[in-house]
Structure 1
Amino acid sequence: MAGPTRRHLLAALAAIGVAGTVRPGHAAPQIKLRDIYGRGAAFSEEALALADQTVEIQGFMAPPLKPDAPFFVLTKRPMAVCPFCDSEMDWPQDIILVRLESPQEWVDFNLPIRVTGTLSLGTEIDEETGFVSRVRLLDASYERI
Structure 2
Amino acid sequence: ELYGKFGVLGLEFSDKVKRLAGKGISMKGFMAPPLKAEAQFFVLTEVPMSLCPFCSSDADWPDNIVVVYLGEKQTFVQPRQTIEVRGTLEYGSWTDPDTGFVSLLRIRQAEYSAA
TM-score, normalization by structure 1: 0.74
Unaligned runs of 5+ in 1: 1-34
Q: 1:125 — aligned with what?
A: 95
Identity in percent:
45
Q: 2:21 — aligned with what?
A: 51
Please state if 1:36 is matched with 2:6.
no
| Aligned residue pairs, count | 111
Inter-partner Cα distance in structure 1 for 2:46 and 2:53: 13
Q: 1:9 — aligned with what?
A: none
Please state if 1:112 is matched with 2:72.
no
Q: Is the 8 A contact 1:117 1:141 kept in 2?
A: yes
Unaligned runs of 5+ in 2: none
1:103 corresponds to which of 48, 73, 79: 73
Inter-partner Cα distance in structure 1 for 2:53 and 2:79: 12
Is the radius of gyration larger for structure 1 or structure 2? 1
Inter-partner Cα distance in structure 2 for 1:99 and 1:140: 6
Q: 2:42 — aligned with what?
A: 72
Deviations 1:53-82, CA, capped at 9 Å, x for gaps? 010011000010000000000001000111
* Aligned-pair CA distance for 1:90: 1.1
Q: 2:112 — aligned with what?
A: 142
What RMSD, in angstroms, separates the aligned Cα atoms of the two structures?
1.3
TM-score, normalization by structure 2: 0.92
Inter-partner Cα distance in structure 2 for 1:139 and 1:46: 20
Going from structure 1 to structure 2, the CA distance change for 1:84 and 1:63 (only over 3 Å counts) comes to same
Q: Comparing both chains, which one has the higher relative contact order based on Cα–Cα distances under 8 Å and sequence gaps of 6 or more?
A: 2
SS at match of 2:4: coil
Higher strand share: 2
Runs of 4+ in 1 over 4 A off after TM superposition: none
